[in-house]
């Protein structure tokens, strides 16, 4: 069994993603190729890093996760293979693997091509062949030198005080839900038997609801999302549109 | 062989659909996972029900069809397994399976999780594991009590008189074709050797064409679509844009 | 092993693509179905032809490539199977296979259905079953008469003079890159040791860069893309938006 997942910013109407799939099937015809998304916003490394962190743990052990959001393709950045206990990750060394590097013991290797490749499409010419080969079995000879200091994005951390937590919106999903960097465990530890007030863009939200359905239609509310993060949502609507909030905007939680 | 189809409103740039696929492959590594669409309009149960009705019959027997358009997730509605002679359907009991329930003998079961799950993502935590297990084989012990009265949407029916048929637009497809709830057999029975006139938003359309190509470019025309429903189309254009018609707008067919 | 690729203009929220996949799996349960894209602009035969040319060669031999951009469905045009040494192509005889027909020895066959089919969805009723059967093995009895003169689009060719090359933009990709019909070999032969200037929409671009990264942010630059064609790009931006260039607009390369 060999699962290869693909997460890119190639969009949905060019030949780029298909070319990668063709290359993979040519090397490992039995690979199960999973399209995660090809609609990461163009060149948005932080978005790719966040989305990857949302799905990779749900895949079977030994799955190969390929991420291609790669504005620096052909330049100085490394082509990289990152290996954790359970998974192999392949993509540019530009920060797309930040969440993995922060949370998992891992080793990073430089990936080198043995033949001439394009300077603009390493997804097809380097990452796809490496993914296909490594999905068959781990082979140290495919990868090169160890990369000692892989690129890690500056991921904002929530600031916890005796009065509350200050965090920020780190992702806006398809439903317009505003996902923050405030994990539920921080809220629980500090908020047992306390009542919370959440402030975002001048709007005050009282307490945390258990389900979207508990929130009044059209009114911003707070929930803990399926990744365990504080999320601002609007039932049957878009918190993003309702509040005019953008990625990076602050969220303040106050113990009452 | 085990085919699992996925139809959701998760959109195309988050980790949600991928998480479901990972969970499925962890339980049934040989599952053939088919992305139907993840672009059902957010929270639009009626659209999901209509789209599902368009594809499920074309899949091999014993395919498992998962639909996750689920604004009430975590609330009072049931998580449901619906079994017909040929297929298994899995999703929320909120109306997404209306067309199946109306047209097929079926039994509905409550789906219960044995362990703690998120309150916001039953697609990943309940529906995906159930789909994977039931794709391996039907197992009564996975499902719970029978649901006696599953939710069925109020699907508009055409009204037939001696003078003609009044129906409405029930779906607008990617091409801007306006698909009505008027089935071709009703037109045939009543219209043999008769000439039809179709009225929609004040525009009169004479007769039914056999192919899009027979319609004059840019002019609204009527055809019988590939599901056997009356459809208003514009050759090489969008009837939706041309006529400014929305879902729910009336269509009148008159025998001349 | 049997790979079937699907490239259509069906969009991403209807049942059409899924119906094709269901039909395929009913005939060949072991088929590996690859979604290339379902977002070719509606009715845009030229775009489908260009995109197909970008991926088909990367797939394993004997892959079956299905293309359904088919405004003339049900009309006079043939349903077609095109066979080259390495691949089978299936779709309407309307020009979608132009690049293959120009560049590869091939034979074209008429595809006829033995039973009644819809007049509006040959993708599901004719192309999908034929693809599934031919992915199992080539069977001359499935196809009909040879088509002597398949439709070939008028694909614009660059004009080369002693002073330079005049070409045009033939595709605008998801990143807003402007892909021209000028192949790199023409530039190399004529430009060894010469300095190039490229003119597009009144803007002058000096020389060709090796990677996107070498281009100054926000400034139009020229590169050779991963298909070996001259491309106008904007690093971390969209050349399409920046220059207001459309498909068909001229590009002039001058030897300095």
What is the tens place of the pLDDT at every residue in B139-193?
A: 999 999 999 999 999 999 999 998 999 999 999 999 999 999 999 988 865 555 5
Q: pLDDT at residue A236 above 90?
A: no
pLDDT grade, residue B26 (50/70/90)?
A: very high
- Chains touching C (at least 3 CB pairs under 8 A) are A, B
Q: State the best of C59, C218, C227 to mutate against chain A, taking most chain A CBs within 10 Å.
A: C59
Q: Pick from A60, A173, A211: which is nearest to B73 by CB?
A: A211
C11, C15, C33: residue with CB nearest B55: C15
pLDDT (0 to 100) of residue A49: 97
**Which residue bears the tokens 């999908």?**
C128
Spell out which residues of chain C touch residue A72, defining contact as CB-CB under 8 Å: 211-213
Residues of B in contact with C12 (CB under 8 A): 12, 37-39, 174
Residues A113/A115/A119/A122 CA torsion (nearest 10 deg): -40
Across the interface, whether the CB atoms of B71 and A214 are under 8 A apart is answered no
**C189 has pLDDT over 60:** no
> Across residues A194-207, what is the average pLDDT?
89
Q: Say yes or no: C217 contacts chain A, CB-CB below 8 A.
A: no
Q: Do B174 and C71 touch (CB under 8 A)?
A: no
How many B×C Cβ pairs under 8 Å? 113
pLDDT of A193 above 60: no
Residues C131-154: b if buried by 16+ CB within 10 A, e if exposed? bbbbbeeeeeebbeeebeebbebe
Distance CA A102, CA B21 (A): 25
Q: Among B1, B36, B47, whose Cβ lies nearest the Cβ of C18?
A: B36
| Least confident among A188-197, A202-211, B139-148 | A188-197
- For residue B176, count other CB atoms closer than 10 A to its CB: 18
pLDDT, chain A, mean: 93
Residue B104 to chain C, least CA–CA distance (Å): 19
Nearest-CB residue to B11 (from A3, A34, A174):
A174
Does the pLDDT value for residue A196 go beyond 90? no
Q: For residue A111, what is the DSSP state?
A: E
Shortest Cα distance, chain B CAs vs residue A54, angstroms: 5
With CB atoms and an 8 Å threshold, state whether A43 touches C210.
Answer: no
Q: What's the confidence (pLDDT) of residue B222?
A: 94
- Residues A22 and A82: beta-carbon distance below 8 Å: no
Candidate from C3, C35, C214 with C-beta closest to A35: C35
**Residues A228-235, mean pLDDT to the nearest whole number:** 94
Residue A112 has pLDDT above 80, yes or no: yes
CB of C41 within 8 Å of a chain B CB? The answer is: no
Asked if C234 is an interface residue toward chain A (Cβ–Cβ < 8 A), one would say no
CA distance A48 to chain B (A): 9
> What local confidence, expressed as pLDDT, does residue B108 receive?
98
Nearest chain B residue (CA) to A217: B71
CA distances (Å), A206 to each of A161, A199, A200, A210, A243, in order?
19, 9, 11, 13, 16
B213 CB near a chain C CB, below 8 Å? yes
**pLDDT value of position B190:** 56
Contacts of residue B9, defined as CB under 8 A and 6 or more positions apart, other chains included, come to: A174, B38, B39, B40, B41, B42, B43, B44, B48, B68, B69
Contacts of B125 in chain A (CB under 8 A): 226
Helix residue spans in C28-127 (DSSP H):
45-55, 98-103, 122
What are the angstrom distances between the C-alpha of C80 and each of B113, B210, C133, C239? Answer: 50, 21, 14, 37
Backbone angles phi, psi at C56, to 5 degrees: -60, -35
Rounded Cα gap, residues A51 and A63, in angstroms: 16
- DSSP 8-class letter at C126: I
Which of B35, B63, B174 lies closest to C14 in CB terms? Answer: B174
Distances in whole angstroms, Cα of residue C215 to Cα of each of C205, C227, C233: 11, 19, 9
| Contact check, Cβ <8 Å, C55/A25 | no
Reported as a single tens digit per residue, the pLDDT across B77-89 is 999 999 999 999 9
pLDDT attached to residue A103: 95
B43 phi, psi to nearest 5 deg: 70, 10
> pLDDT band at residue B1, thresholds of 50, 70 and 90?
low
- Dist CA A8 CA C246 (whole Å): 25
CB contact under 8 A, B13 and A174: yes
Determine the 3-state secondary structure of B36 from DSSP: strand
Residues 6+ apart with CB under 8 A from C203: C220, C243
- Interface contacts A/B by beta carbons within 8 Å: 113
Write out the H or E segment, with its range, that includes residue B81: strand B79-83
Per-residue model confidence (pLDDT) at position A1:
67
Nearest by CB to residue A211, choosing from B26, B43, B120, is B120
Q: Do C15 and B174 touch (CB under 8 A)?
A: no
- How many of the other CB atoms lie within 10 Å of CB of A14? 25
For an interface test with B, which of A41, A59, A242 has the most B Cβ atoms less than 10 Å from its Cβ?
Answer: A59
Which one of A29, A33, A74 has the shortest CB-CB distance to C210?
A74
Report the distance separating Cα C8 and Cα C66, nearest Å: 8
Tokens 């017909």 belong to: B84
Q: Angle, nearest 10°, between helix axes B16-27 and A45-55?
A: 30
Q: What is the phi/psi pair of residue C65, to 5°?
A: -105, 115
Contact C73 B174 (CB under 8 A): no
Across the interface, do A36 and B26 touch by the CB < 8 Å criterion?
Answer: no
Which residues in chain C have their CB less than 8 angstroms from residue B55's CB? 15, 18-19, 22
pLDDT band at residue A189 under the 50/70/90 scheme: low
Averaged pLDDT for residues A82-104: 97
Shared fold status for A3-146 and A159-255: no
Could you tell me if C42 lies within 8 Å of chain A, comparing CB atoms?
Answer: no
Complex confidence, ipTM: 0.94
Predicted pLDDT of residue C155 = 92
Nearest to B210 among C18, C76, C119 (CB): C119
Residue numbers in B near A5 (CB within 8 A): 18, 22
Tell me the per-residue pLDDT of C93-151, one tens digit each, with 9 for 90 and over: 999 999 999 999 999 999 988 777 888 899 999 999 999 999 999 999 999 999 999 99
Report whether pLDDT(C20) > 60. yes
For residue A23, give the chain C residue with the closest CA: C58
Q: Say if the Cβ atoms of A12 and C39 lie within 8 Å.
A: yes
Average pLDDT taken over every residue of chain B: 93
A40 contacts B18 by C-beta, under 8 angstroms: no
What tokens were used for C57?
């060669």
User: What are the tens digits of pLDDT across the range B219-236?
Assistant: 999 999 999 999 999 988
CA-CA distance, C48 to C54, in Å (whole number)? Answer: 10
Q: What is the pLDDT of residue C118?
A: 85
Q: Sort out which chain A residues have CB atoms less than 8 A from C53's CB and list them.
A: 15
Whether C130 and C111 have beta carbons less than 8 Å apart is answered as yes
Please identify among residues 123-182 of chain A the ones whose CB lies closer than 8 Å to any CB of chain B: 173-175
- Place B118 in a pLDDT band, splitting at 50, 70 and 90: confident
Quick one: pLDDT at residue C4?
98
Is residue B61 predicted with pLDDT exceeding 90? Answer: yes
Q: Shortest Cα distance from C243 to chain B (angstroms)?
A: 28
Q: For chain B, which residues make up each domain, given as ranges?
A: 3-146, 159-255
Would the pLDDT of A137 be above 90? yes
Asked if A30 reaches chain B (Cβ–Cβ under 8 Å), the answer is: no
Q: Which CATH architecture has domain B3-146?
A: 3-Layer(aba) Sandwich (3.40)
Least confident segment among B67-71, B86-90, C183-187, C236-240: C183-187
- Asked whether the beta carbons of residue B58 and residue C121 sit closer than 8 angstroms, the reply is no
For all residues of chain C together, what is the average pLDDT? 93
Q: How confident is the model at residue C191 (pLDDT cuts 50, 70, 90)?
A: low
What chain B residue is nearest to C18 in terms of C-alpha separation?
A: B36
Looking at the domain that runs over A159-255, which CATH code has it been given? 2.40.30.90
Which partners does chain B have (≥3 C-beta pairs < 8 Å)?
Answer: A, C
Whole-angstrom Cα distance, residue C59 to residue C83?
A: 15
Closest CB from B59, B210, B213 relative to C72 = B213
- The residues, any chain, with a CB within 8 Å of residue A196's CB and separated by 6 or more, are A187, A206, A207, A208, A222, A253, A254, A255, A256
B43 contacts A211? CB cut-off 8 A? no
Tokens found for residue C186: 């023409």
Task: Determine which of B9, B11, B12 to mutate to test the interface with A (most A C-beta atoms within 10 Å).
Answer: B12
The residue in chain A having the minimum alpha-carbon distance to the alpha carbon of residue B128 is A58
């Amino acid at each position: 069994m060999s699962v290869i997942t693909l997460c890119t910013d190639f969009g949905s109407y060019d030949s780029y993603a298909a070319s990668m799939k063709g290359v993979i099937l040519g090397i490992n015809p039995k690979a199960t190729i999973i399209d995660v998304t090809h609609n990461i916003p163009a060149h948005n490394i932080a978005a790719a890093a966040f989305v990857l962190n949302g799905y990779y743990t749900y895949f079977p052990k030994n799955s190969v996760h390929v991420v291609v959001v790669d504005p620096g393709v052909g330049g100085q950045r490394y082509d990289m293979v990152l290996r954790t206990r359970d998974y192999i990750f392949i993509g540019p060394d530009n920060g797309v693997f930040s969440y993995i590097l922060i949370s998992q013991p891992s080793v990073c290797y430089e990936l080198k091509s043995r033949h001439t490749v394009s300077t603009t499409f390493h997804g097809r010419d380097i990452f796809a062949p490496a993914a296909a080969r490594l999905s068959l079995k781990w082979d140290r000879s495919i990868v090169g030198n160890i990369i000692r200091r892989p690129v890690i994005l500056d991921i904002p951390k929530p600031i916890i005080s005796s009065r509350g937590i200050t965090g920020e919106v780190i992702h806006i999903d398809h439903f317009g839900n505003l996902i923050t960097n405030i994990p539920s465990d921080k809220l629980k530890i500090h908020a047992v038997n306390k009542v919370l007030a959440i402030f975002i863009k001048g709007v005050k939200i009282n307490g945390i609801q258990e389900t979207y359905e508990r929130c009044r239609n059209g009114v911003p509310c707070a929930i803990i999302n399926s990744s365990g993060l504080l999320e601002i949502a609007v039932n049957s609507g878009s918190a993003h549109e309702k509040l005019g909030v953008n990625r990076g905007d602050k969220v303040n939680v106050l113990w009452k």
